[in-house]
C-alpha cells in the first residue's frame, strides 16, 4: 500500500469516527428534547430519585405537609393584631321619644321629648391584640410538633416508596438476567440439536437423541416467552411505583456481581434500635400533641386577656344631604378579660377525654414495640434463611455448570449417552433459576430487615 493510500484510509477512518460520535451525540440530544425519555439504562439510585420526585402518593403527602403548614400559621395568626373596620348608616323613620320631667314644674306631668337626629352614620376602626389566651398558647406550643408530624409522614411514605421500588427493580433485573441465561441455553440447545441431527443423518445415533434435543429446545423457547411476558408486567409495575409515564420506554441496568455485593448486611444494620422506626417517631410526636391538649384543657379556666383601641367618626344630621358635612369623632383604648365561670362541665369532660386519648397512645406504644420486635425477629430469620439458600444455590449453580460442561465433553467423545446431557442440562437450568430466585429473595429480605430496623436510606 502506498503512502497516499495509507493517508487516504487514515482520513477516512477519522471521518467515520467523528460521524459516529456526532450522530450518537445528536441522537441523545434529540431524545432528551423530544420528551425526556430515558435513553440510557438507569440504576437503582436513579429509579429511587425519580420516584421520590414523581410518585403521586408522595406528591399527595407533600401537599399534606403544605396544608399542615398553613394550618399551623392560621393557628399562630391569633398572636398578631386583629384589625377591623366597620361602617353603618341609619335613618329613623320614627325617632325615639323619651319622657323627661318638666324642669319648670317638677311636680307636673312628664314631657315627651324627641331624642337624637333623623340620620346617623358611623365609620370606625378597631384593633385588638391578645396578651394571653389558652388557644394561642396551645398553637405556639404545638406548632413545632405539627410540622414534625407532617415531615415524619412524608418520611414514612418515602420509606415505602424506596422499598417497593427497590423490590420491583430487583425483580426486573432478575428476570432480565434469567432471559440472558435462557438465550445462552437456547443457543446451546440449538447446537445440541444440530449435533444430534448430524449424528442421526450420519447413522452414528438413532432419532431418539434428535427428538430429545427438540423437546429440550422447545421447552426452553416456551420458558423464554413466559419470561418475556413476565418482564413486561414487571416493567409496568416498576413504572407505576416510580410514577413514570407508562407510554415512555424504561430500561434498567445492573450486573449480577453488583447485586451480589448488595447482599450482606452491615454490622450497624443488625442491632436492634426501634427509636429509628418512623412509626415509633410518629407515635411519640402524637403523644406530645395529645399531652399538650391535656394541659390546654387543664388551663381552660384561665382568662383571655387582650388590649384594644377603637376610633370612630360619627356623623349626625336631620337633613340627609348634609349628613357628612360634619363629624363627631371619638376614641377609646382599654383592656379586656374574659373568664369562663361555668361551661356546663365541658372543660372537665375534655380533660378526661384527652387523658383517655393519651392512655390509648400508651397502649398503642406497647403494642407497637411488641409488633416491631416481632417484625425484626421475623425479618432477620427470613434474611438468614434466604442468605443460606442463596449461598447454597450459587454453589449448586457453579457445580451444575461444571457437570454440564464435563458431560457435554464426554458426550462429544462418545463416552456418555445423550440422555445424560439432557439431564445435566435440565439440572443446570434448574440451578440457574434457583440461584436467581434465591438472589431476589435475599435482596428483598434485606430490605425488610432495613425497614424493620428503620435504616432504609431515603435521601
DSSP 3-state percent helix, strand, coil across the chain (nearest 5) = 70, 15, 20
> Within the chain, what is the greatest distance between any pair of CA atoms?
154
The cell for 182 is 435462557
Mean pLDDT score across all residues of the chain = 86
- H-helix or E-strand spanning residue 356: helix 346-412
Which segment, 99-113, 193-207, 313-327, is predicted with the most confidence on average?
Answer: 313-327
pTM of the model: 0.79
Tens-place pLDDT, residues 212-231: 889 989 999 999 999 999 99
Which pLDDT score is estimated for 132?
A: 94
pLDDT in tens, 66-93: 999 999 999 999 999 999 999 999 999 9
pLDDT band at 451 (very low <50, low <70, confident <90, very high): very high
The answer to whether the beta carbons of residues 327 and 314 sit under 8 Å apart is: yes
Q: Write the DSSP string, 38-90.
A: --S-B-HHHHHHHHHHH-HHHHHHHHHHHHHHHHHHHHHGGGS-EEEEEEEEE
CATH of domain 133-171+224-303+345-459: 1.20.1600.10
List residues bridging with 98 in a β-sheet: 113
One DSSP character per residue, 376-426 reads HHHHHHHHHHHHHHHHHHHHHHHHHHHHHHHHHHHHHTTSS-HHHHHHHHH
How is the chain split into domains, by residue range? 133-171+224-303+345-459
* Closest to 424 (Cα-Cα) out of 437, 438, 411, 439: 411
Q: Can you tell me the distance from the alpha carbon of 252 to that of 293, in angstroms, rounded to the nearest whole number?
A: 50
In the chain, the percentage of residues whose pLDDT exceeds 90 is 61
As given in the structure block, the three cell numbers for residue 32 are 432528551
With cut-offs at 50, 70 and 90, classify the pLDDT of residue 105: confident
Going by pLDDT thresholds of 50, 70 and 90, the confidence category of residue 112 is: confident
Report the side by side order of strands in the sheet with 330-338.
Answer: 82-91, 119-132, 304-317, 330-338
Average pLDDT over residues 311-325: 94
Most confident of 1-5, 191-195, 237-241: 237-241
Closest CA to 394 of 328, 438, 337: 438
Non-local (6+) Cβ contacts of 188 within 8 A are 425
Helix 134-202 vs helix 207-242: crossing angle, to nearest 10 = 160
Q: What's the mean pLDDT in 336-358?
A: 93
Whether the pLDDT of residue 254 is over 80: the answer is no
Paired residues of 119 in beta bridges? 91, 317
Amino acid at each position: 500500500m502506498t503512502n497516499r493510500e495509507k493517508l487516504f484510509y487514515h482520513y477516512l477512518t477519522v471521518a467515520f469516527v467523528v460521524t459516529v460520535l456526532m450522530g450518537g451525540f445528536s441522537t441523545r440530544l434529540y431524545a432528551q428534547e423530544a420528551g425526556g425519555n430515558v435513553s440510557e439504562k438507569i440504576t437503582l439510585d436513579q429509579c429511587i430519585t425519580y420516584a421520590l420526585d414523581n410518585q403521586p402518593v408522595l406528591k399527595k403527602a407533600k401537599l399534606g405537609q403544605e396544608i399542615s403548614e398553613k394550618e399551623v400559621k392560621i393557628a399562630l395568626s391569633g398572636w398578631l393584631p386583629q384589625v377591623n373596620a366597620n361602617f353603618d348608616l341609619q335613618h329613623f323613620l320614627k325617632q325615639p321619644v323619651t319622657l323627661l320631667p318638666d324642669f319648670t314644674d317638677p311636680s307636673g306631668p312628664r314631657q315627651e321629648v324627641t331624642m337624637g337626629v333623623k340620620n346617623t352614620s358611623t365609620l370606625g376602626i378597631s384593633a385588638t391584640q391578645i396578651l394571653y389566651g389558652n388557644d394561642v398558647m396551645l398553637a405556639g406550643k404545638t406548632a413545632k410538633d405539627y410540622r414534625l408530624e407532617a415531615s415524619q409522614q412524608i418520611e414514612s411514605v418515602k420509606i415505602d416508596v424506596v422499598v417497593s421500588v427497590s423490590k420491583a427493580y430487583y425483580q426486573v433485573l432478575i428476570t432480565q438476567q434469567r432471559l440472558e441465561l435462557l438465550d445462552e441455553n437456547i443457543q446451546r440447545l440449538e447446537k445440541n440439536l444440530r449435533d444430534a441431527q448430524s449424528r442421526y443423518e450420519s447413522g452414528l445415533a438413532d432419532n431418539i437423541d434428535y427428538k430429545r434435543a427438540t423437546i429440550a429446545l422447545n421447552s426452553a423457547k416456551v420458558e423464554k416467552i413466559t419470561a418475556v411476558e413476565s418482564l413486561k408486567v414487571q416493567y409496568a409495575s416498576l413504572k407505576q411505583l416510580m410514577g413514570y409515564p407508562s407510554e415512555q420506554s424504561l430500561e434498567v441496568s445492573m450486573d449480577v456481581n453488583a447485586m451480589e455485593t448488595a447482599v450482606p448486611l452491615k454490622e450497624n444494620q443488625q442491632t436492634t434500635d426501634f427509636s429509628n422506626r418512623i412509626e415509633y417517631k410518629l407515635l411519640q410526636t402524637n403523644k406530645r400533641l395529645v399531652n399538650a391538649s391535656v394541659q390546654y384543657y387543664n388551663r381552660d379556666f384561665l382568662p383571655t386577656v387582650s388590649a384594644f383601641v377603637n376610633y370612630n367618626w360619627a356623623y349626625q344630621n336631620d337633613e340627609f344631604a348634609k349628613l357628612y358635612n360634619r363629624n363627631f369623632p371619638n376614641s377609646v383604648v382599654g383592656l379586656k378579660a374574659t373568664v369562663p365561670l361555668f361551661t356546663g362541665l365541658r372543660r372537665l369532660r375534655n380533660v378526661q377525654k384527652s387523658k383517655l386519648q393519651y392512655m390509648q397512645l400508651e397502649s398503642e406504644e406497647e403494642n407497637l414495640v411488641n409488633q416491631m420486635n416481632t417484625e425484626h425477629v421475623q425479618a432477620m430469620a427470613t434474611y438468614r434463611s434466604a442468605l443460606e439458600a442463596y449461598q447454597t444455590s450459587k454453589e449448586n449453580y457453579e457445580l451444575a455448570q461444571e457437570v454440564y460442561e464435563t458431560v457435554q465433553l464426554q458426550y462429544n467423545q462418545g463416552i456418555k449417552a445423550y440422555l445424560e446431557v439432557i439431564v445435566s442440562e435440565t439440572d443446570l437450568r434448574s440451578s440457574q433459576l434457583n440461584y436467581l430466585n434465591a438472589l431476589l429473595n435475599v435482596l428483598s429480605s434485606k430490605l425488610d430487615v432495613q425497614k424493620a430496623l428503620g435504616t432504609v436510606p431515603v435521601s
